[in-house]
Amino acid sequence: MANKPFESRIQDLVYNVDAGIGLKLIKGALYFLLIGFVILVYTANQYRGLRDAEAMDYAQLGRNVTWQHPWLITQNVRPASLWYYMQQTGDNNPPFFNHPDLIHAPLYPILLRVVFQGANFAATPEGPMQVYGPEYRVMVLNHVFAILSGILLLFLARRLFDQRVAFWGMTLFFLSDSLWRISLAGVGIPIVIFWGLAATLSMAIAVSRIEESSTSRNWVVPVVLSAIFCGLAFLTRYAALVLVPGLLLYLGWALRQRAWYGCILFLAVFSLPAGLWIMRNISVVGSPLALAPYLALNGTEDYWQNAFERSLAPNATIGSIIGAARSKLIVGLKEFYGVHLRTLGDGLLMAIFLTTFFYRFVHFPVHALRWGVALSLSLLLVIGAVYGEHVFAVALMFWPIVIIYALAFFMLLLDRLQLQLKLMNNAVIGALVLLLVLPMIFALMPPRKLPPYPPYAPRLIIFVSGMLRPNEVLATDMPEATAWYGDRVSVLLPKTVEQFYDINDFMHRFSGLYFTPVTRDQPYTRGLQSAAYETWVPILEGRIPSDFPLPQVVPLIGREQLFFSDRARWAE
């Protein structure tokens, strides 16, 4: 076949740029440039470093990941973790250095370790508005997974609905204030969103193939992939386990008589990555999820706020956990259903999504997936009611699916209006988009986001932590911050002064005690006079016992903070 003349090739090139694939590439490039610009503006306006205790806890875990240890190493040591380690191992001398983390799933810290390669952890911020350098890497990691999630959402929406829903769904996802706010928080939720979307897309492909063909070889591979992605989501956040029952319902409904075969395959593959971590926990402390299930005791009548984690001798049995869960469930369900669930994402689309349950989608993969999502969200609602907001944050894993279902239903209603003018049709869509983007617009308006003080002032925390040598231990009410910024083993403030003495006299000597606005901003009657703090009030008021091991004290930032030590280290 003869080559085309030069003039014909030029004409083909002009056509492609004007109306063919070239035009699509240019539009796509301009679209992502615009989205990238919005993300950069939002980040520059809103990011002032980490301000969430959980994010700092994850960050110090990521820095401490070493491939020589079969477990995560934490510098944020909770008295309850010391108690649990002693109970499970029979060792009355629990390690303070190389202390195993008994609460978190491992994958997010491992990913943080990868991005921390080459980071300068010794750099001190110059001023209150400057971000601690390694925290930019935390932000970038979360942003990358948020962007990848938007691309997966495009493919999922195209498979379930059409190009119009896919485009607007991805756009609204990228312009969602909820997405970028949780991404800047640095707690790894965008990574859970990515695994959840990957698992859902793989299962949607499997269900579509089941509908088209009865041979198992066509759908086994996507089912296996979906199970692997569910395992990765679980290893990122334990609460992501709720994804499994929803996808099993979706798969079993599609397979019908062969449901047992597909579900067993899914569970077997899911158990491989999840089982490895469970075996690690069993080898370290003899239980599958270590201390994590006991956190249901936080916020109960006996353990106000985080008093369970601060307790060296808690009354923590299976019966007490069940009792705590029962007492918190009703109150928590009322709050989480009335506030958090109905306002998930940006609220309006969630209301439309709930309305779709009164409509039957003809396409089976679309109809069945919605009920799987409903099952998973219901389970997460119960777990969140017991364990709190940081667990229910995993619900954002379903936010992309809520977007596309709500948009599809909205577009369906709009088409049934049969508006004669295309301009009117576009105006209605534009009005909806504007309403949904308003939270991001309002977030960008003045005043700008302030530094995270109180209680976190990175430069001051680095200074205070630097008064201790690396082999010394600090007690403080915000150990996640002194562990992350100060790189010192930090014990969460024990519940009572007596427990402080027990740790100091029989386990490891304290070289410093650091009080911050976390404690000093507590309401006097409801907070400091409660059982969780009452024994510390005399020390906070300057009435230090004669036998107290840290008699030297210096106030910081007026008297907002107090640092106690065995000698006047600040003078050195």
Going by C-beta distance under 8 Å and a sequence separation of 6 or more, which residues neighbour residue 270? 227, 228, 230, 231, 234, 244
| 100-123 average pLDDT score | 94
Give the Cα separation of 219 and 264 in Å (integer): 14
Evaluate if residue 267 carries a pLDDT over 80: yes
Give the Cα separation of 4 and 78 in Å (integer): 74
Give the Cα separation of 316 and 162 in Å (integer): 52
Which of 135, 119, 122, 128 has the alpha carbon at shortest distance from 56?
A: 135
Structure tokens at 526: 């409801």
Evaluate if residue 13 carries a pLDDT over 60: no
The H-assigned helical ranges of 186-242 are 189-212, 220-236
8 Å CB contact between 134 and 119: yes
In the chain, the largest separation of any two C-alpha atoms, in whole Å, equals: 100
349 and 437 within one domain: yes
Which of 482, 459, 478 has the alpha carbon at shortest distance from 470?
A: 482
61 and 24 within one domain: no
Q: What is the pLDDT of residues 555-568, one digit of tens each?
A: 999 889 999 999 99
The H-assigned helical ranges of 388-496 are 389-392, 399-417, 422-444, 458-466, 479-484
Q: 130 in a domain, yes or no?
A: no
Helices 259-285 and 220-236, packing angle to 10 deg: 30
Which of the two residues, 2 and 60, has the higher pLDDT score?
A: 60
Which of the two residues, 10 and 421, has the higher pLDDT score?
A: 421
Q: 277 in a domain, yes or no?
A: yes
Q: 296 in a domain, yes or no?
A: no
Which pLDDT band holds residue 8 (cuts at 50, 70, 90)? Answer: low
Of 2-6, 123-127, 234-238, 568-572, highest mean pLDDT: 234-238
pLDDT of residue 3: 65
- The strand pair at 73-74 and 99-100 is best described as antiparallel
Going by C-beta distance under 8 Å and a sequence separation of 6 or more, which residues neighbour residue 170? 150, 151, 153, 154, 157
- Whole-Å CA distances, 530 to 74, 302, 484, 518, 523: 29, 10, 29, 15, 10
8 Å CB contact between 250 and 368: yes
8 Å CB contact between 347 and 436: no
pLDDT of residue 341: 83
With left for phi above 0 and alpha for psi between -120 and 50, is residue 98 left, alpha or beta? Answer: left
| 118-139 average pLDDT score | 90
| 535-555 average pLDDT score | 93
- The SS3 call for residue 322 is helix
pLDDT of residue 1: 45
- This prediction has a pTM of 0.94
258 and 368 within one domain: yes
Residue 92 is inside which H or E element, if any?
A: none
Q: Which of 21-35, 281-295, 371-385, 474-488 has the lowest mean pLDDT?
A: 21-35
Q: 300 in a domain, yes or no?
A: no
Going by C-beta distance under 8 Å and a sequence separation of 6 or more, which residues neighbour residue 491? 77, 78, 79, 96, 473, 474, 475, 476, 479, 503, 510
Tokens 């690396």 locate to 470
375 and 234 within one domain: yes
Average pLDDT over all residues of the chain: 91
Give the Cα separation of 462 and 446 in Å (integer): 30
Going by C-beta distance under 8 Å and a sequence separation of 6 or more, which residues neighbour residue 91? 85
Of 4-8, 301-305, 315-319, 367-371, highest mean pLDDT: 367-371
Evaluate if residue 202 carries a pLDDT over 80: yes
Q: 320 in a domain, yes or no?
A: no
Q: DSSP assignment, residue 339?
A: I
| 391-400 average pLDDT score | 94
The H-assigned helical ranges of 237-308 are 243-255, 259-285
357 and 222 within one domain: yes
- Domain interval for residue 254: 140-290+342-444
Going by C-beta distance under 8 Å and a sequence separation of 6 or more, which residues neighbour residue 127? 459
226 and 198 within one domain: yes
393 and 435 within one domain: yes
| 176-183 average pLDDT score | 95
| 462-466 average pLDDT score | 96
207 and 152 within one domain: yes
pLDDT of residue 67: 74
- The 10 Å Cβ neighbour count of residue 31 is 14
- The strand pair at 473-476 and 510-515 is best described as parallel
- The SS3 call for residue 360 is coil
Evaluate if residue 10 carries a pLDDT over 80: no
Evaluate if residue 83 carries a pLDDT over 90: yes
Give the Cα separation of 367 and 241 in Å (integer): 22
386 and 426 within one domain: yes
Query: What's the structural domain count of the chain?
Result: 4
466 and 423 within one domain: no
Which of the two residues, 150 and 447, has the higher pLDDT score?
A: 150
Going by C-beta distance under 8 Å and a sequence separation of 6 or more, which residues neighbour residue 312? 79, 80, 82, 83, 494, 495, 499, 502, 503
Q: 337 in a domain, yes or no?
A: no
Q: 425 in a domain, yes or no?
A: yes
Q: What is the pLDDT of residues 340-362, one digit of tens each?
A: 888 887 778 999 999 999 999 98
147 and 81 within one domain: no
Q: What Rg value do the Cα atoms of the chain yield, rounded? A: 27
Tokens 């990913």 locate to 111
Q: What is the pLDDT of residues 487-538, one digit of tens each?
A: 999 999 999 999 999 999 999 999 999 999 999 998 887 778 888 899 999 9
| 566-571 average pLDDT score | 92
Q: Sheet holding 473-476: strands in order across? A: 76-77, 489-492, 473-476, 510-515, 561-565, 552-556
8 Å CB contact between 257 and 56: no
Q: How far apart are the first and last CA of the chain?
A: 86
pLDDT of residue 200: 97
Give the Cα separation of 110 and 174 in Å (integer): 26
Q: 522 in a domain, yes or no?
A: yes
270 and 190 within one domain: yes
